[in-house]
Chains A and B, each alone.
Chain A
Amino acid sequence: GQQLNQSPQSMFIQEGEDVSMNCTSSSIFNTWLWYKQDPGEGPVLLIALYKAGELTSNGRLTAQFGITRKDSFLNISASIPSDVGIYFCAGSGVWNFGNEKLTFGTGTRLTIIP
């Protein structure tokens, strides 16, 4: 099956620092998504990317769909305490009669050091 490698697995940063994380795939994806999961909660969609090369921002978050369609990155600028959580990438390709299946990365756990 499809696999997503997400890195880094964890990050320890100070408030105000910028953050960068990425995902790479062994196969081509049609859509890249970035989710955030707060402790004890379900994931929440942050950014969706639909075509190669696309660069999309959502406040302090910026994500890009790689030109090769096999990777994506997420940047967070000027981190704040509420950025703490686990960030997941997810990609989709066509699967089973057109129903698109999402493959999730293993997550990047972001911790902000006081």
Chain B
Amino acid sequence: NAGVTQTPKFQVLKTGQSMTLQCAQDMNHEYMSWYRQDPGMGLRLIHYSVGAGITDQGEVPNGYNVSRSTTEDFPLRLLSAAPSQTSVYFCASSYSSWAGETQYFGPGTRLLVL
């Protein structure tokens, strides 16, 4: 199993550009989520999904869109990149949405918005 994979590993964008961060998992997990990690702060939840076709907002959803058309994939879209979105983005998956369930994190995407 590859676990949770994320692409790209690094990306530089100009303000106003859009892009999609890809996330895929091969563990047949129902629950997937996106976090951002900023210096001096813990991981903050952007969006999550409890199954194909179902998504909901997390703590910091503004400026991001998600969709979940399959169990395996959960892409994160930046609609119009802003410097405040410079961060490291992690995708995670788990068998269920129960917080005690082990979440498996991808290696992260490092995004710089100029």
Contact = CB atoms under 8 A, between A and B. Distances in A.
B105 interface: yes
B40 interface: yes
B27 interface: no
Interface in A86-104: 88, 90, 92, 96, 99-104
A11 to B, nearest CB: 16
A96 to B, nearest CB: 7
Given A41-B107, A42-B107, A104 B97 contact: no
B50 A99 contact: yes
Interface of B: 4, 35, 40-45, 48, 50, 56, 58-59, 90, 92, 97-100, 102-103, 105-108
Interface of A: 1, 4, 6, 9, 30-31, 33, 40-45, 48, 50, 88, 90, 92, 96, 99-107
Given A31-B100, A88-B42, A102-B103, 14 more contacts: A9-B40, A31-B99, A42-B4, A42-B105, A43-B43, A43-B105, A44-B105, A45-B103, A48-B100, A96-B56, A99-B50, A101-B59, A102-B45, A104-B35
